[in-house]
Amino acid sequence: SVYEVDLVQATLGVAPGQFGVLYQNTKLVGGGRISTKILEDVNE
């Protein structure tokens, strides 16, 4: 499966090869290896 995660705020230090994890409160609900980093103009 492939999921796309859109961050509300720009975040430094996110890089392909790292793992991203998703929590709902304190319960781990998903995760996976980051494969790409897409940069967009956040000054809209």
User: What are the pLDDT digits (tens) for 1-44?
Assistant: 788 888 888 788 888 899 999 999 999 999 999 988 776 665 65
The answer as to whether 19 is a domain residue is: yes
Q: Residue 37's domain spans which residues?
A: 15-43
The answer as to whether 38 is a domain residue is: yes
Q: Which residue has tokens 């796309």? A: 4
Q: Quick check: 2 and 30 in contact, CB under 8 A?
A: no
Q: Quick check: 36 and 16 in contact, CB under 8 A?
A: yes
pLDDT at 20: 92
pLDDT at 3: 82
The answer as to whether 23 is a domain residue is: yes
Parallel, antiparallel or unpaired: strands 19-24 and 27-33:
antiparallel
One-letter amino acid at 35 equals S
**Total domain count, the chain:** 1
One-letter amino acid at 25 equals N
The answer as to whether 6 is a domain residue is: no
One-letter amino acid at 20 equals G
The answer as to whether 30 is a domain residue is: yes
pLDDT at 24: 96
